[in-house]
Amino acid sequence: MPSPKNYLSLLKNGEFDHQLAKMYGPSSQKDRYEQLLTLAGTSFQGNDTILVSAGGRTELGGNHTDHSRGQVLAAGIHLDHLAAAEKRQELVADIFSKGFDHIQVNLENLEPDSKEYGSPEAMVRGVAAGFAKRGWPICGFRACIDSAIPIGAGLSSSAALGVLICLIIKKLTGNHKISTLDIARIAKEAENLHFGKPCGFMDQIACAFNGVLHIDFADMENPVIQPLEFDFNQHGYQLTIVQTGGSHAGLTDKYAAVPVDMAAAAGSLGHKLPTAVSMPEIIENAAKIRGDAGDMAFLRLYHFIDENKRVREQVKALKNGNIKDFIKYMRASGNSSFKYLQNCSETLSTDQPIPAALAISEYLLQGRGACRVHGGGFAGTIQALVPLNEFAIYQKIMNNCFGDGAVVPIHIRPGGLEYF
């Protein structure tokens, strides 16, 4: 493995140009890599260095279905956590991150600590615990990390961090047994147990596998993962997110309530899982569900049943190269999230950034594209599919409404590009 200086030489000589183009599309990242490697050169102790990247994810379909053993359509994206790392003798993780405080984590103690919930220290400790639990070696390391994933924007920055730490420990310990699904499992465990976030499994799978993925969570421990080949740009559209100014930080309880509501509605009909319920059954028993579990539970189960079916239709549209059908189902997904799942605003306050962004997007697109709440919702981002020839004006108007840089074009990142 080379040193930071060797990596810098290879980068400047164009050795990584092809891989960088596949990972980031038209977005140039060389300056970012140079800055990170320069920092590593002054921070490391001369041991062999690895260069590794873990991207965030975007949800294309299946809003809040993964928690309840449903189906989702997701994709890994170009916005990533990038790290240079070297092994160290002491069982300590020593991490320098651009824009964040220097942290050290003693990996001799792998127990969850509620005082660390929501912190990078918790994620590092949790990932190491996942390796140790499986009898796999762990090691101390120094790492310099640069992140391009906005925190709290619904792009799974925490899941991507868990995947990144897994990739670092895997490479530095020479563990060739660990699969991509193992990496996703360990990252999820770390996020649930140590980081204190009761997330589903979609985020980690999308961040670890990359590309467009159809995931069926009928067996939560062994989900069926089907990669799909699809390029929105080649079909004349730009996939994008719009950061509306809200943040997902602090909304854990809101997210946790969604699967609880769905399960309560299903339970009122004697079913353990929402996947066991049909639409005719909940319509015929609407009064009972509303009486037993409440209107919100009824509406969220209604959303789940329809959304789960809609994912399969979206997958079919992508396989057939039918962008018009995909747009139709994307629109329907957004409509269902707004009316039935009701995750487009946190409170009934005067601040309604997501509904505002959706309203403006619908006016600008006039049926030629689609928009929907993105990911967990309640705050944060919307997702839009915009005709390429209209994207510049869409970006200008939305940035004017929500601030410079609010519109972020998304490039879907292929799998297998984690290491350099």
CATH architecture of 4-228: 2-Layer Sandwich (3.30)
pLDDT grade for 348, boundaries at 50, 70 and 90 = low
In this predicted structure, what is the pLDDT of residue 343?
Answer: 86
pLDDT grade for 253, boundaries at 50, 70 and 90 = confident
Identify the H or E element spanning 297. helix 295-319
In this predicted structure, what is the pLDDT of residue 248?
Answer: 56
In this predicted structure, what is the pLDDT of residue 380?
Answer: 84
**What is the mean predicted confidence (pLDDT) over 55-74?**
95
Pairwise CA distance, residues 135 & 361, whole Å:
50
pLDDT tens-digit readout, 114-171: 999 999 999 999 999 999 999 999 999 999 999 999 887 789 999 999 999 999 999 9
In this predicted structure, what is the pLDDT of residue 12?
Answer: 93
What 8-state DSSP symbol labels residue 341?
A: I
Choice between 272 and 249, residue whose per-residue pLDDT is larger: 272
In this predicted structure, what is the pLDDT of residue 98?
Answer: 83
| Highest-pLDDT range among 297-311, 366-380, 405-419 | 297-311
Tokens of 326: 């995909």
Pairwise CA distance, residues 10 & 16, whole Å:
7
- CA neighbor of 415 nearest in space, from 126, 184, 223: 184
In whole angstroms, how far apart are CA 330 and each of 155, 325, 371? 18, 9, 7
**What is the mean predicted confidence (pLDDT) over 392-405?**
97
In this predicted structure, what is the pLDDT of residue 16?
Answer: 94
Pairwise CA distance, residues 188 & 220, whole Å:
12
**What is the mean predicted confidence (pLDDT) over 341-351?**
80
Tokens of 335: 């409509």
**Cβ proximity of 201 and 183 under 8 Å:** no
pLDDT tens-digit readout, 31-60: 999 999 999 999 998 889 999 999 999 999
pLDDT at 246 over 80: no
pLDDT grade for 292, boundaries at 50, 70 and 90 = very high
Q: Where in the chain is the domain with CATH 3.30.230.10?
A: 4-228
Which superfamily does CATH assign the domain made up of 232-409 to?
Answer: GHMP kinase, C-terminal domain (3.30.70.890)
In this predicted structure, what is the pLDDT of residue 175?
Answer: 92
Q: Where in the chain is the domain with CATH 3.30.70.890?
A: 232-409
**Cβ proximity of 356 and 344 under 8 Å:** no
Mean of all residue pLDDT scores within the chain: 94
In this predicted structure, what is the pLDDT of residue 409?
Answer: 96
pTM value is: 0.94
**Of 8-12, 84-88, 214-218, 250-254, the least confident:** 250-254
The torsion angle over the Cα atoms of residues 397, 400, 406 and 408, rounded to 10 degrees, is 30
Collect all residues with Cβ–Cβ distance below 8 Å to 71 and sequence separation of at least 6: 62, 65, 214, 215, 216, 217, 308, 311, 312
DSSP per residue, 355-392:
HHHHHHHHHHHTTSSEEEE-TT-SSSEEEEEEEGGGHH
pLDDT at 250 over 70: no
In this predicted structure, what is the pLDDT of residue 247?
Answer: 61
Q: Which amino acid is at 62?
A: G
Identify the H or E element spanning 304. helix 295-319
In this predicted structure, what is the pLDDT of residue 125?
Answer: 98
**What is the mean predicted confidence (pLDDT) over 375-382?**
83
In whole angstroms, how far apart are CA 402 and each of 61, 170, 250, 368, 406? 24, 40, 21, 22, 6
**Cβ proximity of 153 and 242 under 8 Å:** no
In this predicted structure, what is the pLDDT of residue 165?
Answer: 98
